[in-house]
Chains A and B, each alone.
Chain A
Amino acid sequence: MVLDVVWAVKWLTLCAQAMAEHRVELIELDRAIGDSDHGENMDRGFQAVLDKLAEAAPETPGAALKLTAMTLMSKVGGAAGPLYGTAFLRAAAALGDSAEIEPAAWAGALAAARDGIVARGKAEPGDKTMVDAWTPAAEAARAAAENGGPDVLTVLVAAAEAAEAGAVATDPLMARKGRASYLGERSIGHRDPGAASTALILRAAVGAAA
C-alpha cells in the first residue's frame, strides 16, 4: 500500500461518506453542548470537497489536501471551517509536492495539522476540543513511524485509534474553549463534537488504505 493521490482522494471521499453517515450523531453531540450545527456543517463542507476534487483532479496528496482546506474554510461556516481548513492546509504544506507519503511524513503531516489547529484556535490539550483527538493521534503516529518501519498502515491505524480514544476521553472533561465553555460544568459528560469528527476523519484514512 502506498499513500499516493489515489489514496488521498479515496480518503477524502470516505470522509464525506462518514460525515453524511454520522451527520445526525454529530448534530446530537453538538446540540448537547454547542449550537447543533456541526454535523450539518461538516456534511456540507465535505460534500463540497467531493465536487472540488472532481473538478480539479489534483495530482499529489498535498494538492488534494490544500484543495480540501480551501473548500472547508469557504463552505463549513462555523468555527470548524477555519480549524479543519488550517489543519489540512498545514498538512498539505508539510507534505509538499511529493507523490507518495512515507510513514514519517504522515506523522509529520498530522503533527503540523495539530499545531495549526492549536495556533488558530488557541486551545490546549484538556480543553475538551478537537485538540484532544489530534494531539494523541499525532503522537501515536510519530511513535508508530519510529518503531514500525515502512508499514504505513500501522501508522494510520495507530493515529485513528488514538484519535478515537482521545475523543472518548473528552466525555468527563469540562470545556474551556469554544461555545461549550459557556456551559461550564454542564459540559461534563458529553463528548466533544470536534473530537468526534476528528476520529471519523482519521478512521477514514485507514479505510482508504485497506
Chain B
Amino acid sequence: MTVSIVVVSHSEKIADGAVELAAQMAPDVVIVAAGGTSDGRIGTSLEKVLAALDQAAGSDGAVILTDLGSAVMTAESALEFADSPAGVVLADAPLVEGLVAAAVAAQGGADLQAVKRAAEAAGGPPRRTDVPPQQVVEEGSVTGQGPACTGEFELINQAGMHARPAAKIAGGLSSLDAEVTINGVDGTSMTSLMTLAAGKGSLLHVEAWGVDAERAVNYVGGLVQAGFGEP
C-alpha cells in the first residue's frame, strides 16, 4: 500500500495534466484529480474534492495538493465537511513541483508525513505567512557530530542528475530513517537535487545521519554507480 494524492486545481485540464505527469514517475501511486467545477467551469468544487478523497481513501492516507488560494479554502472546507478524516493532510506546496516530489516519495514507500514533507520541500519558502516555517533539524548540526556515514560517487550516466535520477534518489531516501545531504542539499528533495545541476563526471558527496545512515549512502551509491539504469 502507498499514500494516495489528491490534486485540487481551478482547472480540470491542469489537474488532469499534473496527475498525468506525476503518474509517469509514480506508476503505483493512486493520484486523483479534482479540477474545475462540477459543470466544467474554472473554479473548485467541494463535491469533486469529496469524491476524490473517497476514491483515494482506504490506502495509507492521502495528501492534498492545491493550486491558487480558493482551492486551498475548498480543500480545507472539504476536510471540515468530512469531520477532519484521519490520514488526510493538506500540503502547502507548489502544485506541479510538490505533486511530483510527493508522488515520487509515495512511490518509494514513504509514510503520510514524509510524503507531505517531500511536497513542501519542493517549493521555496512556505506561502503562508501566519505559520512559521518548520525547522528541519539536522542531527549533525545539533550535536556537533559529523555524519555517521559518508560516501563520494561519480555520476556516470550521460544526462547526469536530471529529473528521473533525482526522483529515484529522493523517493528512496524519504522512506529511510536518516537525514541525508548530497553536496549540501536535502537528499529527500527532488527539486533541490535537480538544482545541483550535476552533469556527467560530477562528484556527489553524500553525508548521512541517523539509524539508516549507512543504508542511505549505499542506496545513493548503488543508483549512481549503476548509472540509474540509463546510458
Cα of A120 to Cα of B44 in the assembled complex, Å: 15
Query: Which chain B residues numbered 15 to 63 have a C-beta less than 8 Å away from chain A?
Result: 37-38, 41-48
The residue of chain A having its C-beta at the shortest distance from the C-beta of B74 within the complex is A82
Interface presence of A207 (CB below 8 A): no
Task: Give the bracket for the number of chain B residues in contact with chain A.
Answer: 20 to 34
The answer to whether B77 and A85 have CB atoms under 8 Å apart is yes
Question: What is the bound-complex CA distance between A120 and B74, given in angstroms?
Answer: 9
Contact A82 B37 (CB under 8 A): no
Contact A85 B46 (CB under 8 A): yes
CB neighbours (8 Å) of A69 from chain B are 81
Contact B70 A81 (CB under 8 A): yes
Closest chain B residue to A69, Cβ basis: B81
Within 164-190 of A, Cβ neighbours of B (below 8 Å) are at none
On chain A, the residues within 8 Å of B41 by CB distance are: 77
Complex Cα spacing A89 to B46, Å: 13
Known: A78-B43, A81-B46. A73 touches B77 (CB 8 A): yes
Interface set, chain A 38-91, CB cutoff 8 A to B: 41, 69-70, 73-79, 81-83, 85-86, 89
Nearest-Cβ distance from residue B73 to partner chain A, whole angstroms? 4
B37 to chain A, nearest CB (A): 5
Q: Which residues does chain B contribute within 8 Å of A81, judged by CB atoms?
A: 43-44, 46, 70, 74
A179 to B46, CA, bound (A): 21
A86 x B80 contact (CB < 8 A) = yes
Chain B residues closer than 8 Å to A83, beta-carbon distance: 73
User: Is B130 touching A82 in the complex (CB atoms < 8 A)?
Assistant: no
A75, B37: Cα distance in complex, Å:
7
Find A77's partner among B37, B78, B80, B81 (CB 8 Å cutoff): B37
B45 touches A121 (CB 8 A): no
Q: Check A31 for interface membership: any CB of B closer than 8 A.
A: no
Q: Pick the contact of B38 from A70, A74, A86, A121 — CB < 8 Å?
A: A74
- 94-140 of chain B: CB within 8 A of chain A: 130
**Complex Cα–Cα for A89 and B81 (A):** 8
Report yes or no: A78 in contact with B81, Cβ–Cβ below 8 A.
Answer: no
In the complex, chain B residues whose CB is within 8 Å of the CB of A120: 73, 76-77
Chain A contacts for B47, CB-based, 8 A: 70, 74
A79 touches B80 (CB 8 A): no
- Kindly state whether residue B69 has any CB partner on chain A within 8 Å: yes
What CA separation (Å) do A117 and B44 show in the bound complex? 17
Distance between Cα atoms of A81 and B46 in the complex (Å): 9
B43–A86 CB distance below 8 A: no
Q: Which residues of A contact B37 (CB under 8 A)?
A: 74-75, 77
Q: Which of A4-39 contact B (CB under 8 A)?
A: none
Question: Chain B nearest CB: distance from A70 CB in Å?
Answer: 7
Partner of B77, one of A41, A78, A86: A86
> Which A residue's beta carbon lies closest to that of B77?
A82
Establish whether residues A70 and B73, one from each chain, have CB atoms under 8 Å apart when the complex forms: no
> Which chain A residue has the least Cβ–Cβ distance from B10?
A77
In the complex, which residue of chain A has the Cβ closest to the Cβ of B46?
Answer: A73
* Interchain nearest-CB distance for B68 vs A (Å): 9
Known: A70-B81, A73-B81. A121 touches B73 (CB 8 A): yes
Among residues of B, the one whose C-beta sits closest to the C-beta of A83 is: B73
CA distance A89 to B79 in the complex (A): 12
Instruction: Give residues 76-97 of B contacting A (CB, 8 Å).
Output: 76-78, 80-81
Considering the complex, give the chain A residue whose CB is closest to the CB of B38: A74
Give the chain B neighbours of A78 by CB distance below 8 A.
43, 70
Q: Which residues of B contact A122 (CB under 8 A)?
A: 130
State the Cβ distance, A36 to closest chain B Cβ, in Å.
13
Ordered by A's residue number, 10 sampled pairs between the chains whose C-beta atoms are within 8 Å are A70-B46, A70-B47, A70-B81, A73-B45, A74-B46, A74-B47, A81-B44, A81-B70, A83-B73, A85-B77
Q: Spell out B's residues near A (CB within 8 Å).
A: 37-38, 41-48, 69-70, 73-74, 76-78, 80-81, 130
Counting from the closest, the 7 A-B pairs by CB-CB distance are A77-B43, A73-B46, A82-B73, A79-B70, A74-B47, A82-B77, A74-B46
